[in-house]
Chains A and B, each alone.
Chain A
Amino acid sequence: MAKNDLQGALDLLILKTLAQLESMHGYGIMAHIRRVTDELLIVEEGSLYPALHRMEQNGWVRANWAITEYGRKAKWYALTRAGRQQLANREKNWAQVVQGVDAMLRFA
């Protein structure tokens, strides 16, 4: 079981987003998560950017500056090979966590 599961959940969301969109900027990642989860999960800027920075330092994502579809300059993030590996691990972990918590709740 992975430690830091709450933080792990945020990482998982970001990594998954990047896996789905190939590459995206921070604002786009936020918007994507909100849209896909029907506003059930809202990632705040204050958590998103530190997390992105940490992932970049760890070499899970790489970033470069490019122009957005609306003509603004933004830092675009994409998964690296290590990032994909990380994502696979996290997905497996998350499945276990959900299973575990579920089992706990169903116990009568």
Chain B
Amino acid sequence: MGLFRRIISLGRRSRLEREAEAELREHMAMCIDDNIAQGMSRAEAERDARRRFGNPRVMRERVSAEDAALGLESLWHDLRSALRVFIKSPGFAFVVVATLALGIGANTAIFEILDAVRLQTLPVANPNQLAELRIIGGIHGFGITDSAFSNFTIPMWQAIKDHHEPFSGIFAWRTSPVRVGSPDQSRNVYGLEVSGDFFNTLGVVPFQGRLIEPQDLTSCEISRVVASYSFWKSQMGGQPITPATTIMAEGKAVQVLGVTPPSFLGLVVGDRFDLAYPTCTPPNPRREVFTYSVMGRLKDGWTLQRASQYFEAFSPGLFDETAPDGYPAQTIKAYKAFRLGANTAGAGVSTLRDQYNASLEILLAITGLVLLIACANLANLLLARASVKRREVAIRMSLGASRGRLLRQILLESALLAATGAFLGAALAQPLSRTLVSSLDTTDNTIHLTITPDWRVLIFAGAVGIATCLLFGTLPALRSSGAEPLTALKSGARGVVGNRERFSVQRAMVITQIAVSMVLLAGALLFVRSYRNLLTLNAGMRESGVLSGGFYFPSERIKPENLGVFKNQIVDEVRAIPGIDNAAAATNTPLSGSTWGHGVDVGNLDGQSRFTYVSPSFFGTLDIPLLSGRNFTDRDTNDSPLVVIVNQSFVRRYIGTASPIGIRVHVRSEPQYPERTYEIVGVVPDTKYSDLREEPQVQSFVPIAQLPVTAQGPGTGMLIASRDPAAAEQAVRQVMQARHPGMQIQFADFQRGILDHLVGDRMMARLAGFFGLLAALLVVVGLHGVLSYFLSQRRSEIGIRIALGASRGRVVASMLGNACVMLAAGLAIGAVLTVFASRGAGTLLFGLKPWDPPTLLAAAALLAVVTVVASLIPSLRAAHVNPIDSLRAE
């Protein structure tokens, strides 16, 4: 309390002084009054008062001196003098503050993202009770999967929704786009299909109106929706929800029931939804299409383990009942062996978690190392400064300054630096993490994470920085203040040899810095090279100037048996448009992440192959050469012999060295795809299939007109090659609107789609690169600081040497030699560390081994250059020491 008031009163110094003066003046006046009352004359009275009182100014000083005794005035004084020191050496202050701020800011930012992606629970009631049901070990490519979270078919969901003993409530959901707006100006928004108990079970409370309830599950046409808070605010004007509120969705007006609270963004981490709508039960749901994610809330007393046991026991009946038809017996047997298990779901589901977990952990490690270097650097700078101040300390002590007073001033200097750095770091953390998250956005997918300031990590990082400052800022001061002033004065800046012991601490710091920088630089080079490998990778096909599109034509009402020919016809119409080089229809766009495959038998070998159904122009459009055999023609239809073109991997896997042309490929049956036998008519080289990172896939291509009639649908993927994609898009839209009104067309850039899959690699390359450079920069600063200090310690020694005839070259060599010894030690330790550290990055790298000698060499070489450059300036300065000056200074 008292201390608090004293500190406040510091700011009112001048006011207090005026007040003391007034008080003393009044005292004097009272004294005079008394004297006059006792019968003195006025002049006499005044003289007597002054005699007793003494000099008023001295009196006031004595009152103020009380503050000094309390150690107050000097605190203010020390703070000001610390500030003055920084203003005098702004470079030093800037480096210290910037280093700390970056170290603390980056660490906090990365940790906050990791926390948001991995640790934060859903904003619902008791998230820890939520459990997700999944097939143990996955479905091994069985059937068709909608999305990463689709674990249940509709029949499976129907069988389980009434048998959930361990759950107090259960619900199914999936994400699926919804078209909103009038038919001619519609666009897709993020949709969330939910079963009746979705919101009840989660315990989400409506922000407005009501949410979807079991009675809303009526027809399969969307008739009522619930809007998310952000959609309601931005797209519906935030108007109050009434029973009359509607919105245009899927071509008609549907009722808006209510709005979800702002915090609820759905169950997918990093995703959001715009409109939620009820699930429906179609009359004949497909039994091989996995659609829903199913979650429940555990009843009191049930653990995940007990629930898992319950569902495992329930599984045989469930999978018997829901087994699809049309598969070979072997496949069905595998299906019936599936078992359900309950998994924790309190943190929601996430692909981000799988996708970026390893990256984020490595980034956290990298920023941790940066903080370490930053601290080593700080320690170094502060040690060097403290040594320089040794003489000043000695002088002040011999002039009578108290040890405590000196310590306090040095402590204050360190604390001021540390606090500024930590404060800036805290301010940097939020913008940094936001930039980082937005750098992972792709063309059609924005990541929505609620990044909350994490005080724990901020405090941790801040404490590390501040502790470093205080420790290395004050320890040397403590020691020198304990030393005999005379000794310090004698040796001072003029000693022949610096303090060996302290200097070795600094050497250790520099070596640590070089070693850790080596790890960071090698890491940076690895990630940059890996990203470059991916960018320059030859996927085996044309990537630039290609539009990938989706054409949907349900309104044309074409019979399934004619759809194949119709698709070829559309391709021809598009190819005829001026400005378009080539166009092709395909059931699967390469490198889009989606896959399609069938089980095959070739001779006596059996296995899997990827299958793509394409128009004859496919290979021409993507510049894939035919190695042998013939291309498809428009005459290859379901009425002619069935033909297939396979890639080299297919040949290697199933055929070997024999000529593949004419060999028969037997395709096993599955729903909508009856058993068939194709004849190989051609071979193409290996091309990348769904992802740039994957090994070459076994691929087969079949004419799109030979797609089984049962599998034909009123839509196709398109690939359009042209020199001017934007103009081509316009032209195609116009022509198609004119000839096939009602056809829906979507376009995307093929190459950008491929690059979107590399955002994680791009982020790693950029950030690792940035931190690597930062580390190298810090090495420059640290080394320069130490060598400059070294020079200042040995100035007179060098002066004597030069006076005795040492050549300047030898002086430079001795300084550089010093740096090189530290460099060699740092690089050796760094290389060992790198080999250990880079193991963790193995899975993230493409086309590189973590233990990559060229990368290590390059990092070492870079550091060597940096070291030499950093030491050159102080070394050259040493060579220009004027012997007369440095000797005369004694």
> Which residues of A line the B interface, CB within 8 A?
25-27, 31, 44-46, 49-50, 53-54, 57-59, 68, 70, 72-75, 82
Q: Are A45 and B26 in contact (CB under 8 A)?
A: no
Min Cβ gap B793→A in Å is: 45
Option from A44, A50, A53, A73 in Cβ contact (under 8 Å) with B26:
A73
Across the A-B interface, give the 4 residue pairs with the lowest CB-CB distance, nearest first: A27-B30, A59-B2, A54-B66, A75-B23
Complex contacts, B52 vs chain A, CB 8 Å: 44-45
Q: Are B23 and A74 in contact (CB under 8 A)?
A: yes
Complex contacts, A45 vs chain B, CB 8 Å: 24, 27, 52-54, 59
Option from B27, B33, B34 in Cβ contact (under 8 Å) with A26:
B27
Complex contacts, A70 vs chain B, CB 8 Å: 30, 33
Q: Are A53 and B66 in contact (CB under 8 A)?
A: yes
Min Cβ gap B149→A in Å is: 64
Complex contacts, A59 vs chain B, CB 8 Å: 1-2, 5
Identity of the chain B residue whose Cβ is nearest the Cβ of A70 in the assembled complex: B33
In the assembled complex, B15 has its CB within 8 A of some CB on chain A: no
Instruction: Give how many B residues have a beta carbon under 8 Å from the other chain's beta carbons.
Output: 30
A–B pairs, 25, beta carbons within 8 Å: A26-B27, A31-B34, A44-B52, A45-B52, A46-B54, A46-B58, A49-B24, A49-B59, A49-B63, A50-B65, A50-B66, A53-B63, A53-B67, A54-B70, A57-B5, A59-B1, A59-B5, A70-B30, A70-B33, A72-B29, A72-B33, A73-B26, A75-B19, A75-B23, A82-B2
In the assembled complex, B752 has its CB within 8 A of some CB on chain A: no
A interface footprint on B1-35 (CB within 8 Å = 1, 0 otherwise):
11001100100000000011011101101110110
The residues in B between 26 and 49 inclusive whose CB is less than 8 angstroms from any CB of A are: 26-27, 29-31, 33-34
Q: Are A57 and B30 in contact (CB under 8 A)?
A: no
Complex contacts, B23 vs chain A, CB 8 Å: 26, 49, 74-75
Q: Are A72 and B24 in contact (CB under 8 A)?
A: no
Known: A27-B26, A59-B1, A72-B29. 7 other contacts (CB 8 A): A27-B27, A50-B62, A53-B66, A57-B6, A74-B27, A75-B23, A75-B26
Option from B6, B26, B67, B70 in Cβ contact (under 8 Å) with A74:
B26
Complex contacts, B27 vs chain A, CB 8 Å: 25-27, 45, 49, 74
Min Cβ gap B209→A in Å is: 59
Question: With A and B bound together, what is the CA distance between A59 and B9 in angstroms?
Answer: 12
Question: With A and B bound together, what is the CA distance between A1 and B745 in angstroms?
Answer: 96
Identity of the chain B residue whose Cβ is nearest the Cβ of A30 in the assembled complex: B27
Identity of the chain A residue whose Cβ is nearest the Cβ of B9 in the assembled complex: A57
Question: With A and B bound together, what is the CA distance between A49 and B53 in angstroms?
Answer: 11
Question: With A and B bound together, what is the CA distance between A59 and B70 in angstroms?
Answer: 13
Complex contacts, B29 vs chain A, CB 8 Å: 72
Question: With A and B bound together, what is the CA distance between A68 and B34 in angstroms?
Answer: 13
Identity of the chain A residue whose Cβ is nearest the Cβ of B49 in the assembled complex: A45
A interface footprint on B237-264 (CB within 8 Å = 1, 0 otherwise):
0000000000000000000000000000
Min Cβ gap B885→A in Å is: 51
Min Cβ gap A9→B in Å is: 17
State the main secondary structure of chain B at its contact with A: helix
Question: With A and B bound together, what is the CA distance between A45 and B24 in angstroms?
Answer: 9
Identity of the chain A residue whose Cβ is nearest the Cβ of B61 in the assembled complex: A50
Identity of the chain B residue whose Cβ is nearest the Cβ of A59 in the assembled complex: B2
Complex contacts, B63 vs chain A, CB 8 Å: 49-50, 53
Q: Are B59 and A46 in contact (CB under 8 A)?
A: yes
> Which residues of B line the A interface, CB within 8 A?
1-2, 5-6, 9, 19-20, 22-24, 26-27, 29-31, 33-34, 52-54, 58-59, 62-63, 65-67, 69-70, 72
Identity of the chain B residue whose Cβ is nearest the Cβ of A58 in the assembled complex: B2
Question: With A and B bound together, what is the CA distance between A49 and B72 in angstroms?
Answer: 18
Q: Are A57 and B19 in contact (CB under 8 A)?
A: no
Q: Are A46 and B66 in contact (CB under 8 A)?
A: no
Min Cβ gap B53→A in Å is: 5
Question: With A and B bound together, what is the CA distance between A108 and B647 in angstroms?
Answer: 121
Option from B2, B22, B53, B65 in Cβ contact (under 8 Å) with A57:
B2
Q: Are B66 and A57 in contact (CB under 8 A)?
A: yes
Q: Are B59 and A57 in contact (CB under 8 A)?
A: no
Question: With A and B bound together, what is the CA distance between A58 and B2 in angstroms?
Answer: 5
Question: With A and B bound together, what is the CA distance between A31 and B27 in angstroms?
Answer: 11
The residue among A31, A50, A59, A72 with the most chain B CB atoms within 10 A of its own CB is: A50
Q: Are A27 and B19 in contact (CB under 8 A)?
A: no
Question: With A and B bound together, what is the CA distance between A46 and B55 in angstroms?
Answer: 10
Question: With A and B bound together, what is the CA distance between A92 and B22 in angstroms?
Answer: 35
Complex contacts, A73 vs chain B, CB 8 Å: 22, 26
Complex contacts, A25 vs chain B, CB 8 Å: 26-27, 30
Complex contacts, A53 vs chain B, CB 8 Å: 20, 63, 66-67
Question: With A and B bound together, what is the CA distance between A73 and B33 in angstroms?
Answer: 13
Min Cβ gap B24→A in Å is: 7
Question: With A and B bound together, what is the CA distance between A69 and B770 in angstroms?
Answer: 76
Q: Are B24 and A57 in contact (CB under 8 A)?
A: no
Complex contacts, A44 vs chain B, CB 8 Å: 52
Question: With A and B bound together, what is the CA distance between A46 and B53 in angstroms?
Answer: 7
Min Cβ gap B342→A in Å is: 63
- Known A-B contacts A59-B1, A59-B5, A70-B33; the reply to A46 vs B62 at CB < 8 A is yes
Complex contacts, A54 vs chain B, CB 8 Å: 66, 69-70
Q: Are B70 and A49 in contact (CB under 8 A)?
A: no
- Known A-B contacts A57-B67, A70-B33, A72-B26; the reply to A49 vs B20 at CB < 8 A is yes
Question: With A and B bound together, what is the CA distance between A75 and B62 in angstroms?
Answer: 18
Complex contacts, B33 vs chain A, CB 8 Å: 70, 72
Complex contacts, B70 vs chain A, CB 8 Å: 54, 57
Identity of the chain B residue whose Cβ is nearest the Cβ of A51 in the assembled complex: B66
Min Cβ gap B91→A in Å is: 40
Question: With A and B bound together, what is the CA distance between A32 and B27 in angstroms?
Answer: 14
Complex contacts, B62 vs chain A, CB 8 Å: 46, 49-50
Identity of the chain A residue whose Cβ is nearest the Cβ of B27 in the assembled complex: A27
Min Cβ gap A92→B in Å is: 21
Question: With A and B bound together, what is the CA distance between A82 and B2 in angstroms?
Answer: 10
Q: Are A27 and B24 in contact (CB under 8 A)?
A: no
- Known A-B contacts A45-B54, A46-B59; the reply to A72 vs B6 at CB < 8 A is no
Identity of the chain A residue whose Cβ is nearest the Cβ of B67 in the assembled complex: A57
Min Cβ gap A48→B in Å is: 9
Complex contacts, B69 vs chain A, CB 8 Å: 54
Complex contacts, A31 vs chain B, CB 8 Å: 34
Complex contacts, B67 vs chain A, CB 8 Å: 53, 57
Complex contacts, A49 vs chain B, CB 8 Å: 20, 23-24, 27, 59, 62-63
Question: With A and B bound together, what is the CA distance between A68 and B33 in angstroms?
Answer: 12
Identity of the chain A residue whose Cβ is nearest the Cβ of B58 in the assembled complex: A46
Min Cβ gap A14→B in Å is: 14
Identity of the chain B residue whose Cβ is nearest the Cβ of A75 in the assembled complex: B23
Q: Are A74 and B66 in contact (CB under 8 A)?
A: no
